Structure 1
Amino acid sequence: MHEVNSEEFSRRHLYFQNSTERHAYLNSFSTAPQSAKYGTNQFSNLSQKEFRDLYLRTISDRAPVFSGPKTEQLPAKFDWRDKGVVAPVQNQQACGSCWAFSVVGAMQAVHTIGGSRLEQLSVQQVLDCSFQNEGCNGGSPLRALNWLKQTRVKLVPQLEYPYKAKTGICHFFSLSHGVVAVKNFSAHDFSGQEEAMMGQLVEHGPLTAVVDAVSWQDYLGGIIQHHCSSQWSNHAVLVVGYDTTGDIPYWIVQNSWGTTWGNEGYVYVKIGGDVCGIADNVAAVFL
């Protein structure tokens, strides 16, 4: 029996050992029952650099500081999933396309809130056609929204233009074809005013956010409260709700790494203190 490429094997084994040391360190902060737990998952055999290069490819464009009015009388708990407007968790696979997933996720939800039936729209169309971005090599939700707003491109259903996890050639459709186009969007920095961000979520629908997801490589579930700085925002997600009724208030965030990751594909991030940079770069979509 010949050995499986032993050099590759020992390298993976080392990454795996490194990850268990990292998990012990990350878990040492988590004392409360709802705290985030870290451990072995589908990314444990990647080095931190490989994980970053493959999955954390979002470009964070600066957003202006939010200065609008506060929403009065917000519910203590709000989740757009309860309203049946959030599509199931997707899996971007080994393609840095999270920026496209977050934008399409927001568009699908807002379209459904407007009275249409929930339909999955084509992420691949945004990936292939949003020329200011770099497909699987990364992009920015704000650039994608800008492109959608300027061109008035209508997204087609996912079934017509399925996801391939690699950048392809842009398919053009006639203007009458397609489901929905972006009229406008707002992008703000809500750091220090996450309550205002809660208001935006309730008023406008799920929000795209760009976060620092370095520690998410090891995340298993629970509420992230520590060691998730926003020094380097690198991953785009969809904020679909919040819950302030328990000991630790938290955002409910849909990720695009499949349902085996985190809380069935979701991550909970503590509200207040801009944990993971969750409030730095947040966009609402208007259709």
Structure 2
Amino acid sequence: MEPPWPWLWLLCCCELCLGDARPSATVARTWPRSREREAAAFRESLNRHRYLNSFPHENSSAIYGINQFSYLFPEDFKVIYLSSRPAWSPRYPAERQMPIPNMSFPLRFDWRDKHVVTQVRSQQMCGGCWAFSVVGAVESVCAIQGKPLEDLSVQQVIDCSFNNYGCRGGSPLSALSWLNKTQVKLVADSEYPFKAENGLCHYFPGSHSGVSIKDFSAYDFSEQEDEMAKALLTFGPLVVIVDAVSWQDYLGGIIQHHCSSGEANHAVLITGFDRTGNIPYWIVRNSWGDSWGIEGYAHVKMGGNVCGIADSVSAVFV
């Protein structure tokens, strides 16, 4: 069997997405490549899909099947994409957190409906999910405040965030701390385009136009997802870190199970939620291109902290 997708096209997300990633840990570019190995991984994936789809489920439950990652063994996928660890320190004390107003919230809400969320992008071979999630939040919060919606430079964060490892991994909290301390202005993506590799930091004069953040708040909503929904309504799209081990095979529906690694390994952006059906869910923007999942998005069950989605949540203020 000849795989329909070339190997390089498969490497479109984080090789080392988060946390304590170091240059010596990079493995994606040296991973053994062969059509025989890809074909064997594809055959194994068919058995895995049957297993994942065998659990009792409703029509809205997640569906798993063939996608751009089906020619990777699970262990390869984990090593290339999910082998890093989130940087949990420094912990941010409660007194630094922006208070969340008490409010009722609707059955459904999505910031995309307000036209304040940019299009899904692809990380390609760069392990920069941490940067994509942070920049996506900044873009949306600016638009919520009435500024034009535009793609800001992810490459600028990858190249210049000195407390991360660029395409070799990083932490959203570290990136937000860097933006807050340095007051770096993020420029338009057109001025500092994405290259999918590390580069030298390009500095702009202070008079150059751009967006700097005023502050950010980090929360643990692991047993307070209603509060998390209020934060989303109040502050804008939220940066979260998840266990995405089962997302290799995700095609659509609501993820409720199979997040089994027990550790966070991937950064994404929550844009909304939907509680109108039998299973309420978060609406989650990924950065693996719009051919993955539901046009680049995943639906993850609200309640129960599925995939650790509520453990590390950040809101941005500009």
TM-score class, shorter:
over 0.9
Q: Write the letter of the residue equivalent to 1:136.
A: C
- Give the structure 2 partner of residue 36 of structure 1: 62
Q: Write the letter of the residue equivalent to 1:95.
A: C
1:97-108 maps to which residues of 2 (within 5 A)? 97-108=128-139
CA distance in 1: counterparts of 2:267 and 2:189, whole angstroms: 20
* Alignment TM-score, normalising by the size of structure 1: 0.94
Shift of the alpha carbon at 1:43? 0.7
1:1-287 maps to which residues of 2 (within 5 A)? 8-56=34-82, 59-62=85-88, 71-229=102-260, 231-287=262-318
Shift of the alpha carbon at 1:17? 1.3
Shift of the alpha carbon at 1:199? 0.3
CA distance in 2: counterparts of 1:19 and 1:91, whole angstroms: 23
RMSD: 1.7
* Alignment TM-score, normalising by the size of structure 2: 0.85
Q: Give the 3 Å change call, closer, same or farther, for CA 130–57 of structure 1 in structure 2.
A: farther
Q: Which runs of 5+ in 2 are unaligned?
A: 1-32
* Matched residue count: 281
CA distance in 1: counterparts of 2:292 and 2:251, whole angstroms: 7
Shift of the alpha carbon at 1:57? 5.9
Q: Write the letter of the residue equivalent to 2:58.
A: A
The answer to whether the Cα contact below 8 Å between 2:100 and 2:231 also exists between their aligned partners in 1 is no
Mean Cα displacement is larger for which, 265-274 or 21-30? Answer: 21-30
Runs of 4+ that moved beyond 6 A: none
CA distance in 2: counterparts of 1:265 and 1:245, whole angstroms: 22
Q: Which runs of 5+ in 1 are unaligned?
A: 1-6
Shift of the alpha carbon at 1:125? 0.3
Q: Write the letter of the residue equivalent to 1:116.
A: K
Give deviations 1:212-263, integer Å, cap 9, x for gaps. Answer: 0010000000000111146110000000000111100000000000010000
- Give the structure 1 partner of residue 12 of structure 2: none
Q: Write the letter of the residue equivalent to 2:287.
A: S
CA distance in 1: counterparts of 2:305 and 2:92, whole angstroms: 16
Shift of the alpha carbon at 1:61? 3.0
Q: Percent identity?
A: 57
Shift of the alpha carbon at 1:114? 0.7
CA distance in 2: counterparts of 1:157 and 1:96, whole angstroms: 21
